[in-house]
A and B are shown apart, each in its own frame.
Chain A
Amino acid sequence: MESKSKDKQMILRVQNLKKYFPIRRGFFQKIAGWVKAVDDVSFEIEQGKTLGLVGESGCGKTTVARLILKLLEPDNGKIIFRGIDIGELTEKEMKPLRKKIQIVFQDPFGSLNPRMTTGLSIEEGLRILGIKRGKKRKERLEKLLKMVGMSPESADRYPHEFSGGQRQRICIARALSVDPSLVVCDEPISALDVSIQAQIINLLKDLQDRLGLSYLFISHDLNVVSYLCSTISVMYKGQIMESAPAEELFENPRHPYTLSLISAIPDPAPGLRRKIEILEPDLSDSLITSKGCRFQGRCPMEEPRCLEEEISFEKVGEKHFVRCWKAAKK
């Protein structure tokens, strides 16, 4: 009973998620090794809240997004959306749930079909929902466009007529057309101009307040994440290194990787320059590390134990977890 009420609060729970990709070599394409793109990732997203997933490029953030959308099948682990394990569902059973989980992609230039008008792109979702062509569908379309701050006339225009920010608004309208409760935002503002980014961030926030949406916000920009997210998970080479409420993570970062990441944020306030902890360049073959901590070789507090043991994800405070035995002991 208790777990059920917990499920209600948590819109999404990801447990021990794993996805390995094979590396094939040679004439017979024999499997020569595995890229551990996502390795033992767990997190939860509360109803109406935003989880920020940060990390460098290639750390597996987007693979996590694709697993949640069931565009990829996980090798192990559970993805529980509103109490239903979507990993066990067949494609047919998944279909009604697909409406509930939507995605906004990074590049608004590549993610809209250039041969479809804005209206057609957004209506595609409505058509799948079963809303027949006619007055009702048109009303809904106009409402969606208004919601993202576009005029109803833009429905008849093509993507190339819009700027990047407007296109991202269209992508958001398209994602919202099917009434989702969880929206995965995969770097939604990094392709936009600086003066436009704030507009889209405000829009995402307003929509969250109005519609009670939950977001999984994937980004490499810690400034944006620190502003927008309630909880932040820091990913490195397929594993979550640290996870904490946003304030806690910045006030009291434990993992050496989080520390260096925070110190590397370029801060737009000269004169207040803090010491930047420059990390050693990463020379290892990124994701194929065999054992031990993923951060080995770049960590300033490395010890022999780090190279041998598989490091567990330990609780160090209220909702604060860290994957570093040394940081956990402190």
Chain B
Amino acid sequence: MTNDNTLISVQDLKVYFRSGHECARAVDGISFEIRQEETVCLVGESGCGKTVSALSILGLIQTPPGEIAGGQIMFQGKNLLELDEEDMQKIRGNRIAMVFQEPLTSLNPVFTIEDQIGEAISIHKNIGSGELRDCCIKLLKDVGIPSPVQRLKDYPHQLSGGQRQRVMIAMALACDPDLIIADEPTTALDVTVQAQILQLLKSIQETRSMSILYITHDLGVVANIAHRVYVMYSGIVTEQGNAAQIFHHARHPYTQGLLASLPSRSKRGKRLFSIPGTVPNPAYKPAGCPFHPRCPHAIPICGKEYPKMCDYGQAHLARCPVLFKNSHNPDKPEPKSI
């Protein structure tokens, strides 16, 4: 499974949150890998564990109540989960950087742009103030902020939402990381600005040859930027494959349902398919396949046995043995996407 150019590989990661007698299994054994110069998307609804997975890569899960209950995260030969805080700080922001969803709350309102980008650099590099300033200007230029010299003295409130997100990206780029984790970076932005930011991420990736882990719930964005996609549901990966496989040949009922439920102009006048029910509470997950109470293909065994990953070839995997069996049974027609 592990290729030579694998940058980071997460294996069977489990993150639980305890409170009182409850134990919320936010991430319940997920595995994924990111290769060099690749954009990988984690897609899923709120509460499916995508942000928790990202935070655990950076060692940002608060313990307690959080708890890494198992698994490993291999990055450049080291297991990140075993590193102490001092070693972790050398990686965090330096080799792996993060861009958060809400640029207004993740920038400090009382410091200027220069202070904040400068801080990100000076923590990891020992350079003089003049050079630091040049670095900041260059970074702002790279992320497409007009007249960067004037912007250095600005405070976050003086910038628009899109510009703030550009500053966040500049901070993430400060130490030329190998991997950028972008957690819903465009969710708070308008569509036209979103298009600009996605374009920016793409061009940065090409010029700097980094990897991006992009976390989102928006399948439209995924189609736009992803090389490979991991679909998550209730703490597990339900399907993985490249973008074309996921969007044109979805093999898991959840992925199929999500795609069918997206409104679009071509579905005008027709009733939208909707997945019944709601996302399970991570503290009270159903036994067996977590999706089975909402699944149109569910059979009794789905409620008892934890589903295995089924291989459709060409690195396209889906965690639904029922559809897998149907697709290999000549009597039954190939499961069509709904």
* Chain A contacts to B: CB under 8 angstroms: 56-57, 163, 165-166, 193-199, 201-202, 205, 220-224, 226-228, 246-247, 250, 260-261, 263-271, 273, 276, 278-279, 281-283
A58 CB → nearest B CB, Å: 9
CB distance from B190 to the nearest CB of A (A): 4
Q: Does B336 contact A (CB under 8 A)?
A: no
Contact A198 B190, beta carbon cutoff 8 Å: no
| Interface: B195 (CB within 8 A) | yes
Q: Which residues of A contact B261 (CB under 8 A)?
A: 194-195, 197-198
Asked whether, in the complex, the Cβ of B199 is within 8 Å of the Cβ of A276, the reply is yes
- List residues 64-99 of chain B with CB under 8 A from any CB of chain A: none
Q: Is the CB of A264 within 8 A of B219?
A: no
Within 8 Å of chain A (Cβ to Cβ): is B210? no
The verdict on A195 contacting B279 (CB below 8 Å), with A202-B272, A220-B190, A278-B199 known, is: yes
The docked-state distance in angstroms from the alpha carbon of A194 to that of B191 is 17
A196: B residues at CB distance < 8 A: 278
Q: Which residues of A contact B19 (CB under 8 A)?
A: none
User: Are B247 and A265 in contact (CB-based, < 8 A)?
Assistant: no
Mark out the residues of chain B between 257 and 289 whose CB falls within 8 Å of any chain A CB in the assembled complex. 257-259, 261-265, 267-268, 271-276, 278-279
Contact, CB under 8 Å: B220 / A268: yes
- Are B191 and A264 touching (Cβ within 8 A)? yes
Residues of A within 8 A of B124 (CB): none
Instruction: Please tell me if the beta carbons of B263 and A194 are within 8 angstroms of each other in the complex.
Output: no
Inter-chain contacts of A165 with B (CB < 8 A): 278
The answer to whether B273 and A198 have CB atoms under 8 Å apart is: yes
Once the chains bind, are B265 and A281 in contact (CB under 8 Å)? no
**Structural contact, B275 and A198, CB atoms closer than 8 A:** yes
Docked-complex contact B278 and A266, CB < 8 angstroms: no
Cα A226 to Cα B244 with chains together (Å)? 24
Task: Tell me whether B195 and A278 are in contact (CB under 8 A).
Answer: yes
The answer to whether B190 and A57 have CB atoms under 8 Å apart is yes
In the complex, the answer to whether A226 meets B264 with C-beta atoms within 8 Å is yes
A–B complex contacts, Cβ < 8 Å, 29 sampled: A56-B192, A57-B161, A193-B45, A194-B217, A194-B218, A199-B274, A202-B272, A202-B274, A220-B190, A220-B191, A222-B191, A223-B265, A226-B264, A226-B268, A227-B264, A228-B263, A250-B265, A261-B191, A261-B192, A264-B191, A264-B192, A264-B195, A266-B223, A268-B223, A273-B224, A276-B195, A278-B196, A279-B195, A281-B144
B258 with A195: CB separation less than 8 A? yes
Q: Is B194 an interface residue (CB 8 A)?
A: yes
Are A194 and B163 in contact, CB atoms less than 8 angstroms apart?
no
B45/A194 in contact, CB under 8 A: yes
Q: Which residues of B contact A56 (CB under 8 A)?
A: 190-193
CA–CA, A267 and B268, complex, Å: 16
Residues on A with beta carbons closer than 8 Å to the beta carbon of B194 = 264, 266
In the complex, the answer to whether B196 meets A279 with C-beta atoms within 8 Å is: yes
Q: How distant is A306 from chain B, measured CB to nearest CB, in Å?
A: 19
Distance of A220 Cα from B257 Cα, bound (Å): 23
Other 11 A-B pairs with CB < 8 A, given A193-B46, A198-B263, A227-B263? A195-B45, A195-B279, A197-B263, A198-B274, A199-B274, A226-B265, A266-B191, A266-B218, A271-B248, A278-B199, A283-B146
Residues of chain B in range 168-227 having any CB-CB distance to chain A below 8 Å: 190-196, 198-199, 217-224, 226
Distance A107 CA – B306 CA, assembled complex (angstroms): 36
**Cβ-defined contact, B195 with A282, below 8 A:** no
A222 closest partner in B (C-beta): B191
Selected contact of A194 from candidates B144, B190, B219, CB within 8 Å? B219
Taken together as a complex, chains A and B put the C-alpha atoms of A205 and B272 apart, in Å, by 10
**Which chain B positions have C-beta within 8 A of A278?**
195-196, 199
Which residues of the partner chain B approach A279 to less than 8 Å between Cβ atoms?
Answer: 192, 195-196
A227–B267 contact, CB under 8 A?
A: yes
User: Cβ of A194: which chain B residues have Cβ within 8 Å of it?
Assistant: 45, 217-219, 258, 261-262
Contact of B196 among A224, A263, A281, A283 (CB under 8 A): A281
Contact (Cβ within 8 A) B224 A227: no
B160, CB-defined interface residue at 8 Å = yes
B113 within 8 A of A: no
